[in-house]
């Protein structure tokens, strides 16, 4: 699915973080997952060894793309469609038919 891009605002629609909003940090297209800033934070306890002390590490776990929905400026939550103009493909909000501007660099 290539409806979501890095830098898009998304709303989580399923899971423990349901209702929260965040920005996509990275995408894993082959697995169909994305890492969202501030959402799905996990904690890992690292056991102490001879040379290193024990530690607690926080990291972002990937969420399935099907559990998030694109959040647009005009609509709070929208489904994504595509339109082709002048040989270029653009994303549109299916509800309002407005173009979705990409914040990706």
Is residue 102 included in any domain, yes or no?
A: no
**99 located within any domain:** no
pLDDT at 94: 81
2-59 residue pLDDT tens: 788 898 888 999 888 999 999 999 999 899 999 999 999 999 999 999 898 999 999 9
Q: Is 21 within 8 Å of 71 (Cβ atoms)?
A: yes
Cα–Cα–Cα angle for 65, 68, 13, nearest 5°? 135
CATH of the domain at 59: 2.30.30.30
Number of domains present in the structure of the chain: 1
**76 part of a folded domain:** yes
Is 28 among the domain residues? Answer: yes
User: Which secondary structure element, helix H or strand E, spans residue 83, and what is its range?
Assistant: strand 80-85
pTM listed for this prediction: 0.78
Does residue 7 contact residue 30 with C-beta atoms inside 8 Å? no
Give tens-digit pLDDT for 77-100.
Answer: 667 888 998 999 888 888 888 887
In a domain, 4, yes or no: no
Domain around 57: 9-93
Q: Count Cβ neighbours within 10 Å for each residue of 45-75 and write b for 16 or more, e otherwise.
A: eeeeeeeeeeeeeeebeebebebbbbbbeee
User: Residue 98 and residue 45: Cα distance in Å, rounded?
Assistant: 46
User: Are the C-beta atoms of residues 96 and 74 closer than 8 Å to each other?
Assistant: yes
Domain assignment of residue 1, yes or no: no
Q: What pLDDT score does 103 carry?
A: 61
Kindly state the tokens that stand for 6. 């890095």
Domain for residue 25, yes or no?
Answer: yes
**Structural domain includes residue 81:** yes
């Amino acid at each position: 699915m290539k409806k979501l891009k890095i830098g898009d605002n998304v709303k989580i629609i399923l899971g423990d973080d349901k209702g929260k909003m965040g920005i996509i940090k990275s995408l894993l297209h082959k697995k169909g997952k994305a890492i969202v800033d501030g959402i799905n934070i996990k904690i890992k306890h690292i056991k102490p060894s001879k040379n290193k002390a024990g530690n607690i590490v926080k990291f972002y776990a990937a969420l399935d793309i099907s559990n998030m929905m694109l959040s647009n400026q005009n609509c709070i939550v929208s489904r994504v469609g595509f339109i082709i103009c002048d040989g270029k493909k653009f994303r549109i909000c299916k509800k309002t038919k407005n173009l979705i501007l990409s914040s990706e660099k």
